[in-house]
Amino acid sequence: MTASVPNTATHAEMANAIRFLSMDAIEKAKSGHPGMPMGMADVATVLFTRFMKFDAKSPKWADRDRFVLSAGHGSMLLYALGYLTGYDDLDIEQIKNFRQLGYRTAGHPEFGHVSNADTTTGPLGQGITNAVGFALAEAMQAARYGAGIANHYTYVIAGDGCLMEGISQEAITLAGHLKLNKMIVLWDDNHICIDGDTALSTSDDQCARFAAAGWATTKIDGHDPEQIASAIEAARNADKPTLIACRTVIGKGAPNKCGSEKVHGAPLGADEIKAARDAANWPYEPFVIPDHVLAAWRAAGSRGAVERQAWEGRLSTLAAAVKAEFSRTQEGRLPDGWQAAVQAFKAKISAEQPKVATRKASQDALEVLTAAIPEMIGGSADLTHSNLTNTKACAPSIAAGAYAGRYIHYGIREHGMAAVMNGLALHGGFIPYGGTFLIFANYLWPALRMSALMEQRVLYVLTHDSIGLGEDGPTHQPIETIAALRATPNTLVFRPADAVETMEAYEVALLNHKGPSCFALSRQNLPTLRTTHTSDNLTAKGAYVLVEADGKRQVTLLATGSEVSLALEARKLLAAKGVQAAVVSMPCWELFDRQSKEYRAEVLGEGCVRVAVEALTTFGWERYVGLDGAVIGMTGYGASAPADKLYAHFGITADAVADAALARL
């Protein structure tokens, strides 16, 4: 007689499905972190079966709850949940090939690889900070479209490592200040890190820390499903973000290794997995989930379809223009006609020829763009009046309980700002830009790197771009920073020479859906160099001949930003000595490198001397000037003095450029 298949599954069975999929996949890969998925299996089971609003068959539904596995090393938790709940791109073959080349189940969850990864996590602290961006985006959309269209929670599973990283403080203080009450953090409070007990390195009272930052906090047994459910329910009704400290046993279910660092970052081994199966009365072969358990999980994955359909009905009743605007912004499409505003701005600049710092040119461009593109959201890391990132269209500023504005005061939290902007971009509906000094890109670079890795359209406004910032001195003069940004894959770095190039750089950045853009902008005033209007975006080519030689070209002078004007002066000095030189403005190396070989050769000039000038590190310019060329720039740190004194002191002058060219003829 064949035994009947039970039509229900217990909580323990459903949690054990996560545990054994995680154990088996990590064992087969001989690589991974089983402890966290096993320890947080009970919390995840309660969250996904009782609370999470999602539909596995419609993974990008705009009003779904967001789930961030900030402790990304425990990626098998996310992959197991995806398979069990029925995401199409996470079948059992993906689970069996965890961490293998060509499969979506990477060592840390990656956005765009699996559809249930709302963000890429792995670098600890990034996920919890992305989540602030998700929660803020939800609040902003609710203010614009109403709770019938935007009404979802952001849940985070974070570990001790996430909370130890400094960026977490930036995240929790900003979330608490803004009262983002739909952000709920489930802390895997297992007292274990890779080195051993967390007491080796920390004695923080995390609940007190979060409470001081304006959060609600509670402590629970992370293996008691009813305590878990009660805590989540209370958090959903709180008027502030909530931390739930889930006291757990790392590697729960592994009878001999649980509770220690031995289960943190290494496979359990065949003997321990067999012992775990015996202890849990789990007689199934590796990667086999019994039918009744899988059916219960699949039901959890599909129950959100009813809510999704109701939401689609509400969306359909919106006024046609409002519905179209929501859909357009959610899909990342720019509004019709915005480029006409770009052309009008360029024509006006070429006609009026103002002498302004490119940070001011950036503000002028942003005034035009934010008026034309309502999804642009501005901000600054407490440098608004230096970065000049505020515009009339972005007023008023966002504040706790008031989320209809378009400007965010991030405070002195550069790293947090960048990671929050990633969350805003990933959520959908917004294009974030945020400002700080270029030197402090060093503070936010890990999050900028994630913008690039995830191919997110995030705009970094980085002012005070060279020794030209002057008296603040070498601590603030970003000698090497732009080289690091240029070395970052999938990142566009613009250093415009005037207001026309500045607007063109923004146009390129907004059209770029596949990565971040950085704008290195001057403190000092620069003349307008593009005095004849052209509808072509010359900056989009990365480099172009600004002024050609009067006769046969003997010298090519290459420059970016404020030094393009200096190169033009050097050209005059060379002409006085009978030497014909062309000046090439090179606002974006990355775009120039994408051009055809023929175009690059035409711009750089073949068979002539090449001299580059930039008031930053000389590193990298050799690829353009060649072994016989020269680079005028910085080989050490700067000094405190007015800008003109610094340029003369460090030999970054028109005379030095001309002399370098003459010495090589």
Q: Does the active-site annotation cover 414?
A: yes
Q: Which of 299, 339, 282 is CA-nearest to residue 18?
A: 282
Distance between CA atoms of 268 and 271, rounded to whole angstroms? Answer: 8
SS3 state at 510: helix
* Sequence-ordered list of residues with C-beta below 8 angstroms from that of 109, at least 6 positions apart, any chain: 69, 72, 75, 78, 79, 117, 119, 120, 121, 122
Distance between CA atoms of 434 and 650, rounded to whole angstroms? Answer: 31
Which pLDDT does position 2 carry in this prediction? Answer: 34
Total residue length of the chain: 665
SS3 state at 552: coil
* Sequence-ordered list of residues with C-beta below 8 angstroms from that of 488, at least 6 positions apart, any chain: 445, 448, 449, 452
pLDDT tens-digit map of 148-160:
999 999 999 999 9
Are the C-beta atoms of residues 451 and 619 closer than 8 Å to each other?
no
Bridge partners of 167, per DSSP, are: none
Peptide bond into 587 cis (omega under 30): no
Are the C-beta atoms of residues 388 and 361 closer than 8 Å to each other?
no
Which pLDDT does position 3 carry in this prediction? Answer: 39
Distance between CA atoms of 559 and 466, rounded to whole angstroms? Answer: 13
Catalytic residue among 13, 27, 414, 504: 414
Distance between CA atoms of 163 and 303, rounded to whole angstroms? Answer: 33
Q: Phi then psi for 485, rounded to 5 degrees?
A: -65, -40
Which pLDDT does position 4 carry in this prediction? Answer: 40
Residues of the chain with pLDDT under 50: 1-6
Q: What percent of the chain has pLDDT over 70?
A: 99
pLDDT tens-digit map of 507-543:
999 999 999 999 999 999 999 999 999 999 999 999 9
Which pLDDT does position 7 carry in this prediction? Answer: 56
